[in-house]
């Protein structure tokens, strides 16, 4: 079996995302890939990682094979540190108690702005999406990690609507818009790992995933990418990472 066939696109998303987290952090995670990645990090390297859910759970502990389908699921509360109301858990963001926000989106642009509201003309959208929920709060007040599939229709020059702000129009426009802290930290896809230039705040390729070329990444992106001079190749998922991830999601609800 070749290296690329050892794991699915979703599995490499979860594993590479988990590597971005460090022990002792507080992470506000959505369901799906963000929760998988946070749980994987907690089990492998970060026993002191605290997971928060929008539904109010603080210090969530996910049992293998019992992944919650939503952040309001009561399975999220078992062995948790505490359970608050949604407003109270969002207030933790405003008080600066959350280090990392972790979610996905339907569209992302060159400055890391996310759209999960609608596609097309706002007066008559082609597609209606779930909306913000706590997404705007999370992206406004934390350093963000985004995990999403890499497609040209998703990686666009300008999102149709800014549901969750990244660096707005680049440069200092985030701070000038009233958001002095936080911003996009990393974007993880099945093709590459991205950061954001310190000055321009444009998306920059930090590392290509195994077997992926620069041309393939650019061909699947709707704007011109910058490549870091020190861009590397990510370490492929290890057998231990894959086995642990599959034990968390044995029914492949999120990793198929």
pLDDT of residue 2: 45
Residues 6+ apart with CB under 8 A from 227: 204, 205, 214
Contact 61, 79 (CB under 8 A): yes
Name the strand (E) or helix (H) holding 207: strand 203-208
- Residue 54 pLDDT: 86
Instruction: Dump pLDDT digits (tens) for 168-200.
Output: 999 999 999 999 999 999 999 999 999 999 999
Residue 60 has pLDDT above 90, yes or no: no
Residue 1 — very low, low, confident or very high, per pLDDT cuts 50/70/90?
Answer: very low
Decide: 136 and 164 in contact? Cβ < 8 Å: yes
Is residue 256 within 8 A of residue 13, CB to CB? The reply is no
Beta strand pairing call for 143-147 and 183-188: parallel
- Would you please indicate which residues are annotated as catalytic (active-site) residues? 54
> At 235, is the secondary structure helix, strand, or coil?
coil
Structure-token match 């861009």, residue found: 231
Residues 38, 30 contacting (CB under 8 angstroms): no
Which tokens sit at 35? 């929760």
Q: How far is CA 30 from the centre of its chain?
A: 8
Percent of the chain as helix, strand, coil, to the nearest 5: 25, 25, 50
Which two structure tokens, joined as six digits, stand for 34? 């963000």
SS3 108: strand
CB 127 within 8 Å of CB 134? no
List the structure tokens of 134.
């706590």
Contact indicator for 34, 104 with CB cutoff of 8 Å: yes
Q: Among residues 37, 86, 78, which one has the least CA distance to residue 59?
A: 78
CATH T-level fold of 3-248: Glutaconate Coenzyme A-transferase (3.40.1080)
Q: Which two tokens stand for residue 150?
A: 């890499």
pLDDT digits (tens, 9 = 90+) for 140-156: 999 999 999 999 999 99
Beta bridge partners of 146: 103, 187
Instruction: Report the range of poorest mean pLDDT among 53-57, 96-100, 161-165, 252-256.
Output: 252-256
Domain limits, the chain: 3-248
Residues ≥6 apart with Cβ < 8 Å to 8: 255, 256
As a whole number, the mean pLDDT across the chain is: 92
Query: How does pLDDT run across 14-27, given as a tens digit for each residue?
Result: 999 999 999 999 99
């Amino acid at each position: 079996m070749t290296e690329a066939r050892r794991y699915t696109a979703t599995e490499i998303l979860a594993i590479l995302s988990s590597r971005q987290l460090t022990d002792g952090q507080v992470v506000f995670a959505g369901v799906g890939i963000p929760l998988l990645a946070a749980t994987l990090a907690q089990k492998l390297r970060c026993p002191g990682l605290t997971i928060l859910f929008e539904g109010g759970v603080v210090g969530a502990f996910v049992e293998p094979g019992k992944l919650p389908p939503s952040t309001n699921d009561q399975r999220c509360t078992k062995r948790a540190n505490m359970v608050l109301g949604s407003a109270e858990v969002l207030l933790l963001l405003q008080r600066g108690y959350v280090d990392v926000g972790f979610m996905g989106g339907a569209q992302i642009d060159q400055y890391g702005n996310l759209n999960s509201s609608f596609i097309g003309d706002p007066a008559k959208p082609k597609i209606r999406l779930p909306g913000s929920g706590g997404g705007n709060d999370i992206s406004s007040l934390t350093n963000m990690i985004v995990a999403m599939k890499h497609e040209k229709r998703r990686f666009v020059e300008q999102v149709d609507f800014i549901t969750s702000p990244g660096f707005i129009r680049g440069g200092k426009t985030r701070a000038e818009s009233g958001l002095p802290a936080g911003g996009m930290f990393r974007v993880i896809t099945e093709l590459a790992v991205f950061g954001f230039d310190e000055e321009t705040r444009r998306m920059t390729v930090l590392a290509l995933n195994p077997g992926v070329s620069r041309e393939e990444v650019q061909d699947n992106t709707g704007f011109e990418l910058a490549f870091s001079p020190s861009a590397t190749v990510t370490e492929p998922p290890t057998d231990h990472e894959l086995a642990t991830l599959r034990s968390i999601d044995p029914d492949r609800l999120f990793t198929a």
